[in-house]
Amino acid sequence: MHMTQRDGALDLLKWLALLSMVLDHLRYVGYSVDILYAPGRLAFPWFCLAMAANVSRAREVTHQWRYLGWLILFSAISEIPYRIFIPDPDTLNVLPTLVLGLLVARGWQDETLPSRLLAVGAVMLGALFSERLMFGFFGVLLPLAMLLVIRRPWYFSLFPGLVCMAANQWHVLYASARFGSSAALFGIATCLIAPLLGLFLLRHASRFKPPPMRRWAYALYPAHFLALLALRQLLA
């Protein structure tokens, strides 16, 4: 899979991941919309795939550290609006998971000792603080799982699909599915096929030219919490 300097397919994947995330969080606006749970499962694996795509084509190490710095900055900025919008959150917002995931994926790609040590440290932090991280330990590993299959045949996508399902508390989904929950059934199916769908987009949607996601796009994460909070207050 060849990626150009400004890859329209990659930008499209990011926009669709953002849309999926907003749909997922609409479940907290005030109405019972469990139907949005399944499409919401696309957001995290597609963001991880976009991260893996950036890591796989990166030529400069400084670009990766800049990428990491922006993630860390907005991890801190986003925590307050996240906690205001999500009632009684059990975990941190999703960006710390992506920070650790980036370190792991980068450590696999870059064979230098500092990158490898940071990757090992990220894996250890993911294991130690799995309960405090959104999508847990397997969420930290998902960017690496995406990186491992990004240039392989489509059927390899089942591997990150299984990692994605594990990151989404597979035991809870499985138990709910056994009791006939359609949301859980569709959620499991979405987790399994999300990497395949994302890879299909990256390989076949290059003719699309959506607005490029640049550094300003990091602000969309905390901003969407504030926008949905305002919507919830309006509907109350």
Per-residue pLDDT of the chain (236 residues), as tens digits, is 344 457 899 999 999 999 999 999 999 998 777 889 999 999 999 999 999 999 998 755 556 788 899 999 999 999 999 999 998 899 999 999 999 999 999 999 988 999 999 999 999 999 999 999 999 999 999 999 999 999 999 999 999 999 999 999 888 888 888 888 888 899 999 999 999 999 999 999 988 889 999 889 999 999 999 999 999 999 87
188 within 8 A of 177, measured Cβ to Cβ: yes
Q: Would you state the pLDDT for residue 178?
A: 85
Please check whether residue 1 lies inside any domain of the structure. no
Q: Which range marks the domain in which residue 53 is found?
A: 8-92+150-235
Backbone angles phi and psi of 28, in degrees to 5: -100, 10
Residue at 145 is within a domain: no
Rounded to whole angstroms, how far apart are CA atoms 222 and 94? 11
DSSP 212: P
Structure tokens that stand for 126 in this block: 């993911």
| Domains: count for the chain | 1
pLDDT number for residue 182 = 87
Structural domain contains residue 101? no
Question: Which has the closest alpha carbon to 125: 114, 110, 139?
Answer: 139
Hey, what long-range contacts does 149-158 have (CB within 8 A, 24 or more apart)?
149/195, 149/199, 150/1, 150/49, 150/52, 150/53, 150/56, 150/199, 150/202, 151/1, 151/56, 154/196, 154/199, 154/200, 157/195, 157/196, 157/199, 158/192, 158/196
Buried b (16+ CB within 10 A) or exposed e, 184-220: bebbbebbbbbbbbbbebbeebbeeeeeebeeebbee
Q: Which residues contact 226 (CB under 8 A, 6 or more apart)?
A: 81, 85
Q: Is residue 22 part of a domain?
A: yes
Residue 122 covered by a domain = no
d(CA 199, CA 183): 24
Structure token digits, residue 86: 């999500």
pTM: 0.93
Does a structural domain hold residue 113?
A: no
> What pLDDT shows up at residue 235?
87
Is residue 169 included in any domain, yes or no? yes
- 155 in a structural domain: yes
In the chain, what is the greatest distance between 2 CA atoms, to the nearest angstrom? Answer: 54
Write down the pLDDT at residue 7: 84
* 78 contacts 84 by C-beta, under 8 angstroms: no
pLDDT at position 12 = 96
Tokens encoding 193 = 């096929």
Q: Which of 148, 127, 165 is nearest to 44 (CA)?
A: 165
